[in-house]
Structure 1
Amino acid sequence: MLRIALLFALGVYFAFFSNAQPLRIGIAPAKKFTRIKFSNASGDYFIVADTSLIGILNPTSSLEVIFDEKGKMDLIFAGARRKGFNKIKAITAVLGQSLEFSSSLPLNKARSFEGDFEITSLNDRLLVVNEVDLETYLEGVLESEGGEGQQKEYYKVQAVISRTFAQKVINKHAHEGFNLCNQEHCQAYLHKRNGSSMIDSAVSQTRNQVLKNEGDAYAPTFFSANCGGETCDPSFIWNEEIQGLIPMLDTFCTRTKQATWVKRIDPTEWKTFFVEKYSFPVDDSVSYQLLFESNLEHRKAFFIHPRYGIPLRDIREKFDLKSTFFSVRFDNNQVLLSGRGYGHGVGLCQEGAMNMARKGYDYTQILGYYFPSFHLVFTSFERY
């Protein structure tokens, strides 16, 4: 009886290998995982090490994988430790099942993902790849990037721009053995979707829809939390023009949660930064006054004036500011920054799009507002 069960399991395993799921997501690939754990499965997973079926991981069992000093992997499963593997896979035979992943070295918060897992050794660490279909991946992205409790039309917007991004850069990490990572370097994909029917419906109702221009090029679907009432020229942030993205005034986000911010900074720290990094002419009375009294009505690339050569993005990074869109004044012996927006401000403004959805605009109108040079097209997803 046991032999029959094992043969059946192996048959399922090879069937899955011959019809592999299309999208490979690297889970925090920059982290040096050396000991990881899989547990709390929502159903049965086949555990395969190299070419051997080790057993079945069920909701009450766990699997640990340990990187060894020889560049191989050990696994601990069902009370036994086995050594010397190159590749370990956790494979589900039922779509929609999930498995919880965590790490003790280094410590990493437990997160659940749908689909299969592949673990390999890479130099001095373990590489963890989640294999999942595109639409399921997008459901996790929407919840990670857009949060819960939004209008369906907003989720449709996020689904289209996230799908467009995924297809545009599908081989961004191909040289590392996966398509995309789950960090903001690609798109935040922090966990499986938590059963939100609205998110699932938004992804389903926009299936295969992406943004392209007349030349069939994918749209650069950048977005940030809040643009502060004016989207930003990409060259101000990344020193390069991006075709199709034109700065514009946005009237839909100016009264939302993250539209404005303030920050107080010690004046000595403020002045020292500009003097040491940019040799700012504090001996010049006019320049010195501008350092502490500067009003920014519209987005710019440089602080005060380009002749000083101080990119606003450098100031944002140094003082951990929410945006590069801010004015400066001296108040109660402190430098007071009054800012607008949250994030780089390029492309779609999330809070603006959310507000448009609340006001009754549909997803095609919202996409047309933020990406007027692009249009919706239907496309099929090409396998990796």
Structure 2
Amino acid sequence: MHKGYLFVFLGLLLVITVIPAVLVWIGSDSSPTLADSGATKSVDEQKWKVRVFLTEEQRVVEIPLEQYVCGVVASEMPADFAMEALKAQALAARTYIVDRMEKGNFKDMAEWGEKAKSAYVTDTVQHQVYTTNEKLHREWGNKYQQNWKRISEAVAATKGEIITYQGKPIYAAFFSTSNGQTENSEDYFNEKYPYLRSVSSPWDETSPKFLQQQSMSLTQLIGKLEKSLGIKISLSASTGEPLLKVINRTQSNRVAQVRVGDKLLSGRKVREALNLPSSDFSWKITGDRVQITTKGYGHGVGMSQWGANMMAKQGKKVEQIIKYYYHGVDISPIPDSSSVG
């Protein structure tokens, strides 16, 4: 009898302690605890909470900094990339949000509606792509535990660290794949940053996004440009000029200016209006069809994610990757004196 009571007692104890913990984890919107990297770096989680506007759900959530960084890394870089590349992505993601929160300029949130005004960032490419833990479960399926372990290890290994230039967080621009060389910041964003200088990135040629082609009619091309840019383009042949002509290219061989009919346009505007993967583009006109070839994927400024991955596979460490793509920078703890908002 006593032995039977003992078994009942142990069973009840198990129910009381284990099941509630499981239910709490399942019902939580937050991510599981970060993997223990053995690091002693600390972050004031009460101070550094990120307010994110979830565009699909039309609501604002408040997330501890390191969990937010996990959600960004999981969204912006494949989980099977090399660990040192994932660490580099974590540093870039954390630096971006710390810089934005310190500056406290969130005026652009108003364009997302009244509900978004209290947030610091959206979960879109306008800022940094962020995915909730619930969505990651759905997207990764049975690879969730494996992928989350890698992401959380990379984030934990860089916990509380950002990329700085002369003691201040940088604008940590990054993109998928270069055309073999990164872009000077002023050639795409108009603003010149001393740490965003063009560098060779030959590893990107192995990326599946390095070379792409698409075709459309000349009428479609002109229509997209006119609609996006709010202009009227004349294709009069009387001038004797080609309908489409590159006027000049940037240092990294991306299109700086292009003439389309009677209009002179920037390569960036054409890229965005036509939704091209890159501003390194060329074309071939056959009859009424235009075949456009692009090299690279993304704006080309800052760290190439594919280049970072290949550098890591060749044995480069996170600090080497960061200092290669961002000139003259340091990897530093978030300053205690930093102010949020």
TM-score (norm 1): 0.61
| Pairing of 1:68-217 with structure 2 (within 5 A) | 96=33, 128-170=59-101, 171-173=104-106, 176-192=117-133, 194-195=144-145, 196-213=148-165, 215-217=166-168
Does the Cα contact within 8 Å between 2:246 and 2:258 map onto a contact in 1?
Answer: no
Q: CA deviation at 1:267?
A: 2.7
**Matched residue type, 1:221:** A
The answer to whether the Cα contact below 8 Å between 1:172 and 1:180 also exists between their aligned partners in 2 is no
| Higher strand fraction (1 or 2) | 1
Kindly provide the CA deviation profile for residues 83-107 of structure 1, in whole angstroms up to 9, marking residues without a partner as x: xxxxxxx999x9759xxxxxxxxxx
Secondary structure of 2:128's counterpart equals: coil
Q: Deviations over 1:47-101 (max 9, x none)?
A: xxxxxxxxxxx85xxxxxxxxxxxxxxxxxxxxxxxxxxxxxx999x9759xxxx
Instruction: Give the AA of the match of 2:290.
Output: V
Where does residue 326 of structure 2 map in the other structure? 371
Report SS of the residue matched to 2:242.
helix
> Contact 1:295–1:328 (CA<8 Å) still a contact in 2?
no
Aligned residues: 275
CA distance in 2, matches of 1:318, 1:182: 22
SS in 1 for 2:238: coil
| 8 Å Cα contact 1:324-1:344 kept in structure 2 | yes
The runs of 5 or more residues in structure 2 that have no matched partner are 1-20, 35-48, 110-116, 137-143
Task: Name stretches of at least 5 consecutive residues in structure 1 with no aligned partner.
Answer: 1-40, 46-57, 60-89, 98-115, 120-125
Q: Which residue number in structure 1 is paired with residue 307 of structure 2?
A: 352
Partners of 2:95 and 2:163 within 8 A in 1: yes
Q: CA deviation at 1:294?
A: 8.7
User: Counterpart in 2 of 1:242?
Assistant: 193
The aligned amino acid for 1:341 is G
Paired position in structure 1 for 2:17: none
Query: Aligned partners of 1:269 and 1:223: how far apart in 2?
Result: 31
SS at match of 2:256: coil
Tell me the CA shift for residue 293 of structure 1. 8.6
Relative to structure 1, is the Cα distance of residues 184 and 231 closer, same or farther in structure 2, using a 3 angstrom cutoff?
A: same
Higher helix share: 2
CA distance in 2 between counterparts of 1:165 and 1:284 reads: 47
Among the aligned pairs, what percent are the same residue?
22
Question: Once superposed, what is the RMSD of the aligned Cα atoms?
Answer: 3.8
- The CA deviation at 1:277 is 3.1
Q: Whole-Å Cα distance in 2 between the matches of residues 133 and 247 of structure 1?
A: 34
Indicate how the Cα distance of structure 1 residues 358 and 118 shifts in structure 2: closer, same or farther if over 3 A, else same.
Answer: closer
Which deviations, in whole Å up to 9, do the C-alpha atoms of 1:176-211 show, x marking residues without a partner? 323333222221111226442221111111112211
1:326 aligns with 2:326: no
The answer as to whether partners of 2:311 and 2:321 remain within 8 angstroms in 1 is yes
Where 1:43 maps in the other structure, the secondary structure is helix
Contact 1:117 1:129 in 2 (8 A): no
| Structure with more contact order per residue of length (Cα contacts < 8 Å, sep ≥ 6) | 2
Q: Contact 2:176–2:298 (CA<8 Å) still a contact in 1?
A: yes
| 1:263 counterpart = 2:214 | yes
User: What CA deviation, in whole Å up to 9, does each residue of 1:30-53 have, x standing for no partner?
Assistant: xxxxxxxxxxx96349xxxxxxxx
Cα distance in 2, alignment partners of residues 118 and 218 from structure 1: 19
Instruction: Using the TM superposition, give the Cα deviation of residue 274 of structure 1 relative to its aligned residue in structure 2, in angstroms.
Output: 7.1
**Distance change (3 Å), C-alpha of 1:328 and 1:166:** same
